[in-house]
Amino acid sequence: MEEHIDERVPVLIVGGSLVGLSSSLFLGRLGVGHMLVERHAGTSRHPRGRGNNVRTMELFRVAGAEPLIHEAASLLADNHGIFQTPSLHGDAGEWLLKEIDPGNGIARLSPSGWCVCSQNDLEPVLLDCARKLGGDLRYSTEMVSFEQDGEGVTAVVQERESGRRRTVRADYLIAADGPRSPIRRHLGIGQTGHGDLFHNVSITFRSRGLADVVGDRRFIVCYLTAEDADGALLPVDNSENWVFHAPWQPETGETLEDFTDERCAAHIRRAVGAPGIDVEITGKAPWHAAERVAERYGQGRVFLAGDSAHEMSPTGAFGSNTGIQDAHNLAWKLALVLDGSAGPGLLGSYEAERRPVAEATSERASARSAEHSHPGYTPGPEMVGGRQRGMLTVAMGYRYPRGAVVGADPAMAVVPDRMDLSGDPGTRAPHMWLHPHDGERRLSTLDLYERNFVLLTGSGGTPWHTAAARVAEKLSITLDAYRIGTEPHAELVPESGDWAELHGTTDEGAVVVRPDGFVAWRAPGAVRDPETVLLDAMKALLHRA
């Protein structure tokens, strides 16, 4: 007898933190029905995970959330850089990183920029956006069991207050349930990596006097290196509310109970070098820095995303950003499979693309903690030294040698030694400013990529433009096509620069860009039969026979 099903939904998301909420937002933008369950009563109340890199903000831009996030982050809009000092008293100390974007160089590469927005401020924005898109988000609700078969996943969810249980049938399940992921353990998926790196206690506190000690040093984080009171200081509002990360050594028997209010306040005063300032402790939360990557990113119809798939040292904020980008990569692929545009094989590219990125990024995060002498971290010799790639290259210059791409070099490095966004298959497509021929609206090429695959060509690429319409009809898919140039028949006019040169092709060539803004395929010039060539490329990308 078939088990009673209370509710049916295309996608069930387990976990309502940054990655789960981002999954909901991205799926909602694509019109995919879903349910999210989160065991906690609401969004995060602790200010943590504040760094949102350029690539993440590009995704939030296209999803319509970027202005709201900047508004939520307004209190820290003028904070830049990383400061290190034995004391905030006097003029000691040095800037490890004075500005995130010196010379405004990012503007040449992206319409977006870095944004300092703490998790407790970012999550409510994502929640509101997701609900406005029709997302069914249920807090104080946990998944207590699940099983899957060839057609879907059957899960039992329980309301924590009432104890009421409901059986939910979903086509797919996204496990955004954190580093200790019960779902990952249930699937028997192991992890690789260095494991635990160090432990801290995150202490929130109020102090009106600290702002005078800090002065005009508007840092994102300050590493305090006093021998008897090291730690990391992070502003919340630059005036009264602050966060301090204190080293914690549980391996020596030290417990959270040892971190009394009195001990924490005294530690903070010594660390900043101001023994007389007021300090009122308002909260404490333990956290563990680790380097682990899941051996597999899912099984069957269940996929891991965020901390359930990878743990990273917090230095550089790589972990949350990698998780949000996981969510986006998975969302558009689920959308195309669910509506029949793509075959189920497309979902296999999720692990093929995202797992190598997590491995490379987690190594860089650990190395950056060593470079910055993060409080509580004593790296082994294997973690120190070696050639390190820049933060921006790791954040937005990573590549997909394998996956849903045609023509990528499988031997190319996932994270190159230098930034190279020149239209190669498997790389994030180049940014350039455009204007529609029929209006004054300014948009980036990246604004074109969200819902569908997009073919771009120059004014001389009309045969590709015509072929795109025929291929879309043959495959019953939506394939947007634009010609870029100054000629009347071009749909988009470049503000400056040469579209073909920027994308590594000629005016008669073409590129196909995926819904996540990565180049999927490229033709350097005209061909005899563009329709057949494009049809073959799209079939391969979509795993269509």
* Domains in the chain, CATH or no CATH each: 7-80+102-192+291-395 (3.50.50.60), 193-290 (3.30.9.10), 433-542 (3.40.30.120)
Q: Which carries the bigger pLDDT value, residue 446 or residue 387?
A: 446
Q: What is the pLDDT of residues 401-420, one digit of tens each?
A: 999 999 999 999 999 989 99
User: Is the pLDDT reported for residue 307 higher than 90?
Assistant: yes
What per-residue confidence (pLDDT) applies to 378? 58
Give the Cα-Cα-Cα angle 380, 285, 384 (nearest 5 degrees).
Answer: 15
How many other CB atoms sit within 10 Å of the CB of residue 76? 22
How many helices (H) and strands (E) the chain has is answered by: 13, 25
What per-residue confidence (pLDDT) applies to 1? 32
User: Is the pLDDT reported for residue 375 higher than 80?
Assistant: no
What per-residue confidence (pLDDT) applies to 386? 42
User: Is the pLDDT reported for residue 383 higher than 90?
Assistant: no
Q: Which carries the bigger pLDDT value, residue 24 or residue 390?
A: 24
Interval 431-460 mean pLDDT: 93
Rounded Cα–Cα distance for residues 475 and 88 (Å): 64
Q: What is the pLDDT of residues 201-228, one digit of tens each?
A: 999 999 999 999 999 999 999 999 988 8
How many other CB atoms sit within 10 Å of the CB of residue 124? 16
Cα–chain-centroid distance for residue 265? Answer: 34
**Average pLDDT of the residues of the chain:** 92
What per-residue confidence (pLDDT) applies to 317? 75
Interval 506-528 mean pLDDT: 97
Rounded Cα–Cα distance for residues 303 and 292 (Å): 17
User: Is the pLDDT reported for residue 2 higher than 60?
Assistant: no
Q: Which carries the bigger pLDDT value, residue 481 or residue 78?
A: 481
For residue 125, give both structure tokens.
Answer: 């924005």
What per-residue confidence (pLDDT) applies to 194? 86
Q: What is the pLDDT of residues 281-295, one digit of tens each?
A: 999 988 888 899 999
> Which of 147-156, 321-330, 432-441 has the least mean pLDDT?
432-441
What per-residue confidence (pLDDT) applies to 390? 76
